[in-house]
Chains A and B, each alone.
Chain A
Amino acid sequence: MSSLAIKVDQLGKRYQLGGDVGMFKYRALRDAVTEGASNLARRMRGDLSGLWSAPETFWALRDVSFEIGRGEVVGIIGRNGAGKSTLLKILSRITRPTTGGADLRGRIGTLLEVGTGFHAELSGRENIYLNGAILGMRRAEVQRNFDAIVAFSGVERFLDTPVKRYSSGMYVRLAFAVAAHLETEILLVDEVLAVGDAEFQRKCLDKMQSVVRDGRTIMFVSHNMAAIKALCQRALLIDGGRLVQDGSVDTVVDAYLAAGRVSPDEGVLPDNVPRTGTGEVRLRTVTLRDADHEPVSQLYLGDRFSIEMTFEALSAVEDASVVVGISSLDGVRAATTYSTAEGQAPWSLAPGRHRIVLDLDLVLLPRRYTLDIAIVRGSGHEIDYVQQVLDFSAIGVARTGGDSYPWATVHGYVRPATQWHQPVRQTP
């Protein structure tokens, strides 16, 4: 494999969910598993006795094979929870695969998070050395690059100040600067460019481009399609733990964006879908549509969207109203709306099919969501209630690319509509 840098062969990773029942229940799950955990939560919600059943398993990655040549820059794209980060964690030796294997030629530098191992009490200078060592840099390597790191970060004046006194921007700049000077043959980078202000992001992108020109092998995970297109020639699309597409960056990115759209005949509820209620009216179809009224399973940040439902009334109902809940996959209700909100009158439904469309102006923060839909009579008497009827994901970038969710961790569920006023200088 002289010209190969990375050879991945049928890689698989299985996680155990909430397993290890017994005396010790301290095993905690990590972010990488939350996606799968939500599947478990979903199953358990209906069946609490599942707590004592055999440990659930979940394949975060399955049968993934590919080869990357030396000097190639490859983007990895896919929805949240698709398995991208698991792949990087295995290749960077943080966790072991369950099946398959990988051979990597060269020292591996990993950048899964900005500022890994930074200590708040230590000064900027001290953290450069500490963080460098944690990332696998030799002392000599850090020393050789010290001035460049400091210059890149722009925190010269605060080098001897504890980083706990840094602004978050300074902190991130310093942390990225250290990592950017890793001199390994292979660099594995997770969504870290989405930090700092626009100017710094551009600087990071420039830096990455110079790293690319150095002929190093890079795997780069991002939700930022513009950055992926700017940096990579090739992209891998991962979905549900499997490698779905491997090809030129333009082809794969376009396919990924197109995959966010679903065919219009989807959205029909299966006959055996679990539902509760008295049953005079039945929910038959649910479709999520984007601002262009296209059916989608993925929403860009800030896009308006609508939920289109078809109900079949078996007998007439005089005072019906519909309740729609948006929950995260792990079961937290992010928002609830109902058709009698703001004093609207209940509907009277004649027997037959009725189409009901709900337009939402709601900015959902990036994660996977699901819809719970109910039709109720009067003050809440349940006619039909279907939980988790449709899954979709909200992604961290806007359709135009001008807006994005800037952090790696998602705080909260929705971004409220706000009006930020320009700073007004106070004259003394």
Chain B
Amino acid sequence: MSYHGHTAEIPTIEIRPASGWSALDLGSVWEYRELVYYMVWRDIKVRYKQTALGIGWAVLQPLGSLIVFSLLFGRLAGLPSEGVPYPVFTMAALLPWQLFSNAFSGAANSVTGNAAVIGKVYFPRLIVPIAAVVATIVDFAIALFLLFGLMVWYGVPLRVTLLALPLFALAALVAALAVGLWTAALNVKYRDVRYLLPYALQLWLFVSPVLYSVSLIPDRWRVLYSLNPLVGVIQGFRWALFGGDSPWPLLASSMLVSTVWLIGGLFYFRRAEDEFSDII
């Protein structure tokens, strides 16, 4: 064993009773960033090892929804799609939606899913939901190629605004983390959350412009509607892919709402985490 003490830089760790709201201490999260990487890597690796289809799920999940939605809403209901073929139009929204919903539910179940580790070793607990959110990027990236393929198939031109996609994807992840932190912490205390979650996501899908266009929403409801962070994100995706109305006001409103929830979520999570190992 090669152990070399560095007396000069030995930190002192102070352990005190929980005092309600505490500092976020994002510095220690940064110090443990390698653990985020390993947890993401574990989640992805395990999923692809355990499931028969492995990476195929990243494609099948959006593809399945796409086919159903296109037939139901595009063909039967004949929803308008702003001059873009309905499947492409919907796929452009399904991707950020699935990124968000996977990241959200991943984060929500992350703390309870890592109970064994949380009860046995210390690390900044924020790592857990953050890693769960980050892990969804891989599926998203794969599905992105499916979207590009679809666009080429339907002859939709690829625009330079595509380069803004990562920004909108990031906005989706921030929104997911924001609500995910609240739910992850609540889930530890009240396991009801786990049963509520799929239901909440289903409702959320319908109040987001996934199956329809934002233009269907009457003007007087727009402001209220844009409080849903997903509105700006999805509008951003459609703009980046097909052009049209500028997404920036909606995105600004999205980001504002997400940020408020995120900051609240971070503090709430930090407050709740003191109890995790006691009640998990």
- Could you tell me which A residues sit within 8 Å of B by CB distance? 1, 15, 24, 26-30, 89-108, 110, 112-113, 116-117, 119, 121-122, 126, 129-130, 133-136, 138-139, 144-145, 148, 162, 180-181, 183, 185, 210-211, 214-216
Chain A hits for B2, CB < 8 A: 144-145, 183
Smallest beta-carbon distance B151→chain A, Å: 36
Chain A hits for B32, CB < 8 A: 136
Chain B hits for A26, CB < 8 A: 189-192
Whether B280 pairs with A30 at a CB distance below 8 angstroms is yes
Smallest beta-carbon distance B113→chain A, Å: 12
Whether B10 pairs with A105 at a CB distance below 8 angstroms is yes
In the complex, B35 has a CB within 8 A of chain A: yes
Whether B15 pairs with A104 at a CB distance below 8 angstroms is yes
Whether B278 pairs with A133 at a CB distance below 8 angstroms is no
Q: Given that A24-B189, A130-B38 are known contacts, is A105 also in contact with B12, CB under 8 Å in the complex?
A: yes
A136 to B189, CA, bound (A): 27
Of chain A, the residue at the smallest CB distance from B48 is A121
Within 8 A of A (CB), among B13-51: 13-18, 32, 34-35, 37-38, 41-42, 45-46, 49-50
Of chain A, the residue at the smallest CB distance from B3 is A214
Whether A110 pairs with B121 at a CB distance below 8 angstroms is yes
Of chain B, the residue at the smallest CB distance from A111 is B121
Whether A93 pairs with B13 at a CB distance below 8 angstroms is yes
Q: Given that A119-B46, A122-B45, A126-B45 are known contacts, is A97 also in contact with B12, CB under 8 Å in the complex?
A: no
Q: Given that A24-B192, A95-B278 are known contacts, is A215 also in contact with B5, CB under 8 Å in the complex?
A: yes
Smallest beta-carbon distance B194→chain A, Å: 10
Smallest beta-carbon distance B132→chain A, Å: 15
Q: Which 8 pairs across A and B sit closest by C-beta, in order of nearness?
A: A93-B122, A26-B191, A133-B38, A102-B15, A116-B120, A104-B13, A24-B190, A95-B277
Majority SS at the chain A contact face:
loop
Whether B11 pairs with A121 at a CB distance below 8 angstroms is no
A121 to B120, CA, bound (A): 20
Whether B17 pairs with A98 at a CB distance below 8 angstroms is yes
Chain A hits for B118, CB < 8 A: 94
Smallest beta-carbon distance A349→chain B, Å: 51
Whether A133 pairs with B15 at a CB distance below 8 angstroms is no
Whether B38 pairs with A134 at a CB distance below 8 angstroms is yes
Whether A94 pairs with B119 at a CB distance below 8 angstroms is yes
Whether A134 pairs with B117 at a CB distance below 8 angstroms is yes
A93 to B119, CA, bound (A): 10
In the complex, B279 has a CB within 8 A of chain A: yes
A214 to B12, CA, bound (A): 20
Whether B192 pairs with A91 at a CB distance below 8 angstroms is no
Chain B hits for A105, CB < 8 A: 10-13
Looking at the complex, which one of A91, A107, A117 makes contact with B117 (CB distance below 8 Å)?
A: A117
Of chain B, the residue at the smallest CB distance from A5 is B10
Chain B hits for A215, CB < 8 A: 3, 5
Whether A30 pairs with B15 at a CB distance below 8 angstroms is no
Q: Given that A15-B278, A112-B120, A121-B50 are known contacts, is A216 also in contact with B3, CB under 8 Å in the complex?
A: yes
Within 8 A of A (CB), among B231-280: 274, 277-280
Of chain B, the residue at the smallest CB distance from A131 is B38
A110 to B118, CA, bound (A): 12
A381 to B44, CA, bound (A): 64
Whether B123 pairs with A211 at a CB distance below 8 angstroms is no
In the complex, B71 has a CB within 8 A of chain A: no
Chain B hits for A148, CB < 8 A: 1
15 further contact pairs, Cβ within 8 A, besides A30-B119, A107-B11? A24-B190, A26-B189, A26-B190, A93-B15, A94-B120, A94-B122, A94-B277, A99-B17, A104-B15, A108-B13, A116-B116, A117-B117, A135-B121, A162-B49, A183-B1
Of chain A, the residue at the smallest CB distance from B114 is A117
Smallest beta-carbon distance A108→chain B, Å: 6
Smallest beta-carbon distance B161→chain A, Å: 38
Smallest beta-carbon distance A98→chain B, Å: 6
Whether A133 pairs with B45 at a CB distance below 8 angstroms is no
Chain A hits for B274, CB < 8 A: 95-96
Chain B hits for A216, CB < 8 A: 3
Give me 29 A-to-B residue pairs in the complex whose CB atoms sit less than 8 angstroms apart, sorted by A's number: A15-B278, A26-B190, A26-B191, A27-B189, A27-B279, A28-B280, A30-B277, A91-B15, A92-B122, A93-B122, A94-B119, A95-B278, A96-B16, A97-B17, A102-B15, A105-B10, A108-B122, A117-B117, A119-B42, A119-B46, A121-B50, A122-B42, A129-B38, A133-B34, A134-B121, A136-B32, A162-B49, A183-B2, A214-B3
Within 8 A of A (CB), among B153-211: 189-192
Chain B hits for A89, CB < 8 A: 277
Whether B123 pairs with A138 at a CB distance below 8 angstroms is no
Whether B11 pairs with A94 at a CB distance below 8 angstroms is no
A215 to B7, CA, bound (A): 12
Chain B hits for A101, CB < 8 A: 14-17
Chain B hits for A1, CB < 8 A: 12
Q: Given that A121-B46, A129-B38 are known contacts, is A103 also in contact with B121, CB under 8 Å in the complex?
A: no
Smallest beta-carbon distance A238→chain B, Å: 17
A1 to B14, CA, bound (A): 13
Whether B46 pairs with A185 at a CB distance below 8 angstroms is no
